[in-house]
Structure 1
Amino acid sequence: MNRLSKIKIFLGLAYLGIVSLVVIAFFYFGANTFLSPSYLVENKNYIFELRDQNLFLISSVYFFFSIIWVFLMGFGTPLIIFAGFAFGTILGSILSIFSFTIGATLLYLFANHYFKDLVEKYLGTKYASIKQNVNQNELSYFFSLRVIPGIPFPIKNLLPVLFNMKLKNFFLATLFGEAAPIIISVSIFSGLSNAFESDKDLNLNLLFSPEIFFPLLALAMMSLIANFVKKKYFNRGV
């Protein structure tokens, strides 16, 4: 075993160790409660005050934390909830789209260099149709794959390892492929945040307010289109 192989093994094990420690610490210290809807509702006044007084700082912390979180294969939903609740549709979407894209790109680079064999072993068979169907237009293919429901976000970031996707294409497909679902999701939680901030009563009528109803409608339409694309252009293996 040469020196380069030893370095790869060391860095790979270090990454897995860090991921494990972060997950354990995240739940052991109850950090997951800070991103839960119940915590956000109960502490809404404090969060809104903190945001208004330290918008740049809070935005920066969220941005860099999201990059690290996505790189460590964390799920995006808790961050989306917080972004919509704390920053609103525009700022929350911008911060999330770019931080998620950067984090996903770093994860892809790292996995493609250090975990290629593991990705092939555990994902190659289940998602074999991707490897078979991808062609020279990998950008369009992976962009479509990004909007298909049912594939966890961290897995989507690892799948391009199977066909050694160009870094530029991965970045662009992630940036534009994740933009629509992120904007829609952030808009929904931003609408709920506005309702909480104005102390509106929480009932079913709230779902029919324009700032919540239209994002929900867009989400439903996007899911229908994505399912249609999946059935028409992708094998059942995806």
Structure 2
Amino acid sequence: MRRILPLLVLIALAVAAFVLLHGVGWDDLARHQGELKDWVSAHPIASVALYLAVYIATVALSLPQAALVTVSGGFLFGAVLGTMLTVIGATTGATILVVVVRSAFAQLLDRNRHRIPQRVQVRLARDGFSYLLAIRLVPLFPFWIVNLACVVVGVRLTVFVPATLLGIIPVSFILSSIGSGLGTILAQGHKPDLSVLFSPHILLPLLALAVVSLLPSLLRRRPNAGV
């Protein structure tokens, strides 16, 4: 019960947050953007701490408002600081989720670990960092699904944390940069176009980075094609 209790708490908080935040979006940010900016200016340290807490909770609870919070970080703190806070918050929240879920299902996961082919387990142990980094770099895979997949395949925290932290920097910076110009967009009555992440001039460089991150594992496999 001690293992499952933290997971039950997360689930209860996620349900409550989903109900409370249902419908919250860009219109709400547009209405309160002046007040938010003023509060951040008047309380710089408290606003940073609050943003980190909100982001950690958003990721740990796998809430759908993560993109909204990321863009808001760029709007409130600028592209650079917004990116730093987002990366720290997202990595911390994802780590909390992984630890809680892994603890809750430790026995079940251990009993079924043999179902993962031995070759896959060997590659994950050897090249898990490269694989996870490549996945994080490309915004095609839902963040929370990757988190849970890492639990299932048994990615170690010593791999999960640095690969997540480094892998989410590019997309976080892009969204924070969009957020830094959000005031003008909202003032004109528009909403930010986040589909820019999937435009060729953004997606192709990210795919290239993902391929580069996989090169060490690909080069190691060449002499031992059968491994």
Please report the TM-score for the alignment, with normalisation by the length of structure 1. Answer: 0.70
> Which aligned pairs between 1:1-238 and structure 2 lie closer than 5 A?
6-27=1-22, 32-33=23-24, 36-75=25-64, 76-115=66-105, 117=108, 134-193=124-183, 195=184, 219-222=202-205, 225=208
Residue identity opposite 2:71 in structure 1: I
**Partner SS state of residue 137, structure 1:** helix
Take 1:224 and 1:177, find their aligned partners in 2: how far apart are those partners?
12
Residue identity opposite 1:190 in structure 2: S
Residue identity opposite 1:23 in structure 2: F
Take 1:223 and 1:106, find their aligned partners in 2: how far apart are those partners?
27
Query: Per the alignment, do residues 142 and 224 of structure 1 end up closer, same or farther by CA in structure 2, a change over 3 Å counting?
Result: closer
Take 1:37 and 1:226, find their aligned partners in 2: how far apart are those partners?
31
Shift of 1:91: 1.2
Residue identity opposite 2:204 in structure 1: M
Take 1:85 and 1:147, find their aligned partners in 2: how far apart are those partners?
22
Is the CA contact (8 Å cut-off) linking 1:131 and 1:162 kept in structure 2?
A: no
Residue identity opposite 1:62 in structure 2: Y
Take 1:115 and 1:218, find their aligned partners in 2: how far apart are those partners?
41
Take 1:112 and 1:60, find their aligned partners in 2: how far apart are those partners?
27
Take 2:73 and 2:91, find their aligned partners in 1: how far apart are those partners?
15
**Partner SS state of residue 136, structure 1:** helix
Take 1:21 and 1:54, find their aligned partners in 2: how far apart are those partners?
28
Is the CA contact (8 Å cut-off) linking 2:70 and 2:172 kept in structure 1?
A: yes
Query: Per the alignment, do residues 16 and 132 of structure 1 end up closer, same or farther by CA in structure 2, a change over 3 Å counting?
Result: farther
Unaligned runs of 5+ residues in structure 2 are 218-227
Q: 1:3 matched to which residue of 2?
A: none
Residue identity opposite 2:175 in structure 1: S
Unaligned runs of 5+ residues in structure 1 are 1-5, 208-212, 234-238
Is the CA contact (8 Å cut-off) linking 2:129 and 2:160 kept in structure 1?
A: yes
Take 1:132 and 1:218, find their aligned partners in 2: how far apart are those partners?
35
Is the CA contact (8 Å cut-off) linking 1:149 and 1:227 kept in structure 2?
A: no
Aligned-pair Cα RMSD in Å: 3.6
Query: Per the alignment, do residues 37 and 218 of structure 1 end up closer, same or farther by CA in structure 2, a change over 3 Å counting?
Result: farther
Take 2:165 and 2:210, find their aligned partners in 1: how far apart are those partners?
21
Residue identity opposite 1:100 in structure 2: A
**Partner SS state of residue 145, structure 1:** helix
| Residues 37-86 of structure 1: CA deviation (Å, up to 9, x unaligned) | 22222333222222221222111101112112211112421211211211
